[in-house]
A and B are shown apart, each in its own frame.
Chain A
Amino acid sequence: MPSFLDALSYEFVRNALMAGVIASVLCGVVGTFVVVKRLAFLSDGLSHAAFGGMGICYFLGIDPLLGAVALSLAAAVGLGSVNSETVRSYDTFIGVLWAVGMAVGIVFLYLAPGYAPNLMTYLFGNILLVSQRDIVLILVFAVVVLGILGLFFQGIVAVAFDEVFARVQGVRVRLLMTLLLTMIALTVVVLIQVVGIILVVALLTIPPVVALMLFKDLRGVMISSVLVGVGITLGGLMLSFYYDLPSGPAIILLGAALLAVVFAAKKLTGEAPRLLPMFRRR
């Protein structure tokens, strides 16, 4: 049986590893906000809105990534400017955005002259097909997103935690909330084309949930979330290599297994699960 180290001599395996690690680091940090603010649906909705932008750009003969980024940024800014007093929840907006984005994308693809590529590959990218150019691209985006989050970190955390109190203190709530949504949008849109929407949603949610069960403070959660993401990515790729499994699903199922184990362990010791955002506190 060939060892995993031998596999590293292949460029596509090295690329997959690098892309996986970058995606895990980015998702570990951004995903923590996604999970605690319950924005998983938003992330999914933005990625489908991005599809609309891709369709338009393809029709116009521009790089589809441009359209994806532009459209999801517009969507994020739009959602950020929605007044939280008049709107109880974002989910209806996101649902509409999702459907309209897909419809726009499909219509423009249909109208585009000549050979129409299967744009679905943009949505369901494959980590084993990552190119060197892709890696540079996501590395640049990762640095930008993490840099901006780092710069405004305390403010964004305060707004995410307690918008009302932040407002009383004179913090620019709308600006910071829009900034957070924008960074989530950028993360999702750029990563989906590289590793696929399913893996992005998985990396945004599974590692932070595992981390939330293990740590009580934001720093601990973010660091461990990154480590869990990197761990399941490496482990998943190895599983994929040894057992000839599809790589994305292998990573996701490994993550799910880890989640189940940690959850069960915490349940047995009688703590933690109630701290998770998706469970209602008694």
Chain B
Amino acid sequence: MTEPLLQVRGLTFGYGRELVLDHVDLDINPRDFLAVIGPNGGGKTTLIKAILGLLRPWSGEVISRIPRGQMGYVPQFSTFDRSFPLRVRDVVLMGRLGRRGLLRRYTREDRDDVERILERLKLLDVARSHVAEVSGGQLQRVLIARALAGDPAILFLDEPTASIDAESREVLREILEELNQRIPVVVVTHDVTSISPMVQRIACINRRLFYHGPELDQDVLEEVYGCPVELVAHGVPHRVLHHHH
């Protein structure tokens, strides 16, 4: 049996006085494809940020066998300022930063790798465009390319399918499938159906981690959302089937 690559133990976190994550336990194994679902405000993004070390938990811990700087992260909303004078290629190149010391410059090898990644994500056409000039779907691919440039040992994606076009969706599916041959992939999503063929395990989070296993059923979803929801609902995060009591 393989040891988990990453273990979350009793993770508790909140903003201000409001508890968002309550004693969450989660294992991520070397070849996992994990979907994290749950209602808005349920703590999905917060969990990912805590695992990435962006938030300091109130209590509990994240035990990781992944070296610092080798976690790939594709944020939901680009956290950067799109008026910054950078071309798409420069942004992707920044993904190499974690692999270098503070003083090192980008090398020929860095640039060649970035070229390959741009090609794989069908971004070569816009490589010289300003980051403010690309479409939403292209920007999503830029963020993925940047995460991949660091040759990550694990990849976290926050709502990768939220605002993308058909082409980007297809590219994303191929890339994730290929990556999952080597590394674990964790996807936060409202829309499990868009990536469902690949998903091996689903974690439902609504403050507590409600379910954690290979299959999802109606009972679990009801427990997580607090009311009956439909499993297959394209793009609709939370469709209520029956009347609330």
Contacts and interface: CB of A to CB of B under 8 A. Distances in A.
A197 B127 CA distance: 40
Interface of chain B: mostly helix, strand, loop or mixed: loop
Contacts of A276: 83
Interface string B74-106: 010011111111110011001101101011111
Contact of A172 (B75, B86, B102, B128): B102
A36 B83 contact: yes
A116 interface: no
B87 A165 contact: no
Most buried by A among B84, B103, B146: B84
Given A158-B94, A218-B86, A275-B83, A165 B132 contact: no
Contact of A167 (B53, B91, B95, B104): B53
A152 B52 CA distance: 24
Contact of B105 (A154, A166, A212, A220): A154
A174 to B, nearest CB: 13
Nearest to B68: A170
Contacts of A220: 85
Given A154-B97, A163-B79, A170 B86 contact: no
Contacts of B81: 36, 161-162, 277
B140 to A, nearest CB: 14
A155 interface: yes
Interface string A159-186: 0111111111111100010000000000
Contacts of A266: none
Most buried by B among A152, A157, A275, A277: A275
B71 A155 contact: no
Interface string A131-173: 0000000000000000000011011011011111111111110
Given A85-B55, A169-B97, 18 more contacts: A36-B85, A154-B106, A155-B97, A158-B94, A160-B84, A161-B84, A165-B73, A165-B80, A165-B94, A166-B97, A168-B69, A171-B69, A171-B102, A215-B85, A216-B87, A216-B128, A221-B85, A275-B130
